[in-house]
């Protein structure tokens, strides 16, 4: 079962920052937070991941609360091409074959022109 809770859908105006929340209140110390997105029926696309520190890359920023029970993915300047289903996934850090991703239902983000 997915260990995360996300809103079913969100809208964001084009050019504004899109802030996607995720609750993972049962996360344990060695579990990472990953974000993927899926545009229409394409393969899921990796966005970003983090353990406890905030992270930023060319696509997005990830803000993880100090207690690690929730996080927010930020797309700083949303474009129409960011319309997709966004998945927040908690995954145990492991190099013993437990690297599977457990996808929930995600948030359907719609960017409004």
DSSP string, 88-106: EEEEE--SSS---------
Which stretch, 6-14, 15-23, 70-78, 94-102, contacts other proteins (CB under 8 A)?
Answer: 94-102
Strands 107-112 and 84-92: antiparallel
Interaction of residue 79 with other proteins, rule CB under 8 A: no
DSSP secondary-structure letter at 24?
Answer: -
**Among residues 7, 49, 59, 63, which is the contact residue for other proteins, using CB under 8 A?**
49
Cβ at position 90, least distance to other proteins in Å: 12
* Both structure tokens of 45: 């696309």
Site of interaction with other proteins (CB under 8 A): 32, 34, 38, 41-46, 49, 51, 87, 93-105
């Amino acid at each position: 079962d997915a260990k995360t809770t996300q809103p079913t859908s969100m809208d964001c105006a084009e050019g504004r920052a899109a802030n996607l929340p995720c609750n993972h209140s049962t996360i344990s110390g060695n579990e990472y937070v990953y974000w993927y997105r899926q545009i229409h029926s394409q393969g899921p696309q990796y966005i970003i991941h983090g353990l406890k520190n905030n992270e930023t890359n060319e696509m997005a920023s990830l803000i993880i609360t100090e207690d690690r029970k929730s996080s927010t993915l930020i797309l700083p300047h949303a474009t129409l091409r960011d319309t997709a289903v966004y998945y927040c996934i908690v995954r145990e850090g492991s190099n013993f074959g437990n690297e599977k991703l457990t996808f929930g239902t995600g948030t359907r983000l719609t960017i409004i022109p």
